[in-house]
Amino acid sequence: MSMQAREEILGRLKSVRKNTPAARPAKPVLSEINLDKEQLLQRFTSELNAQTGAVYQAKDKEDAVRILSEIASAEGLKSILATSGHIYGVDIRAFGSQNNISVSTVQDFSDRNAFRELAFAVDAGITSADFAVAETGTLGVIFYKDQPRLVSIAPPVHIAIVPVDKLYPVYENVIEQVFKDTNKIPSQFCFITGPSSTTDIKGVHFKGMHGPVKIFVIFIMTGGIGHENSDGPGKTMVR
């Protein structure tokens, strides 16, 4: 039935005389591509702050654990689901044991339903992010075996760890890399910008509709763009 429908529909569409599409105008320029590394970080931070997301700069992996501990304490986290025991070298299990937090990782699961149950039960999900985009304070996340989708959408808090050298000016920089190798296109790729939100009742805006209520992004600055003198966590946080 579908094949017959296909032939009928395409037949009708193809019966129309095709004109050569008009030449497109020049592609609009994007101002973000001219930002230097310092400005990219500032832009990312201000954009995500505007969405109530908090941005931290960790001097190194140990500093990232300290920042995670601060977030966990402030948010009262008791249980977390992480995409790995080590995310970009940050020891998530050590962070858990230091703070008396129950840590589960994706590798602990082989059963889909058990994993889903836990994703909806934990206080927070900790993931890596493959990219960050300064344009709008956006994370780019490729979903695959070690990065399941629910960790960044089901728990009420999402914490993402990303090396600062993964920060790019605009979406195009990211999309080119994600889809470059046609044999390695992920089943899903997602841009994440702030917590989930809605304005559906009387236009009143609030964060935390179905996905996370809060989002925290920790940049690992090691080998990065020279923010060693950062005042530490909370510096750029919006509360």
Residues 74-103 close enough to bind another protein by CB under 8 A: none
Question: Of 12, 83, 75, whose CA–CA distance to 213 is shortest?
Answer: 75
* Structure tokens that stand for 147 in this block: 């990065």
Is the CB of residue 220 less than 8 Å from the CB of residue 229?
A: no
Total binding residues for another protein by CB under 8 A?
79
Q: How far apart are CA 175 and CA 73, in angstroms?
A: 36
- State the minimum distance, in angstroms, from the CB of residue 111 to another protein: 9
Indicate the residue among 30 and 238 with the shorter CB distance to another protein. Answer: 30
40 and 169 Cβ atoms separated by less than 8 Å: yes
Q: Which of 69, 98, 177, 197 binds another protein (CB under 8 A)?
A: 197
- List the structure tokens of 146: 């070690």
- Report how far residue 127's alpha carbon sits from residue 211's, in angstroms, rounded to the nearest whole number: 14
Chosen residue from 73, 78, 97, 206 binding another protein by CB under 8 A: 206
Cβ closest to another protein, residue 25 vs residue 223: 25
Tokens at 130, concatenated:
């493959």
Of the candidate residues 68, 161, 192, 218, the single one contacting another protein (CB under 8 A)? 192
Q: Does 22 bind another protein (CB under 8 A)?
A: yes
Q: Which is nearer to another protein, 62 or 176 (CB)?
A: 176
Cβ 4 to another protein shortest distance, Å:
9
Closest C-alpha to 130, from 96, 152, 91, 160: 160
- Only one of the segments 70-78, 95-103, 174-182, 226-234 lies at the binding site for another protein (rule: CB under 8 A); that segment is 174-182
3-state DSSP call for residue 39?
helix
Q: Which of residues 123-162 bind another protein (CB under 8 A)?
A: 135-136, 138, 143-145, 148-150, 153-154
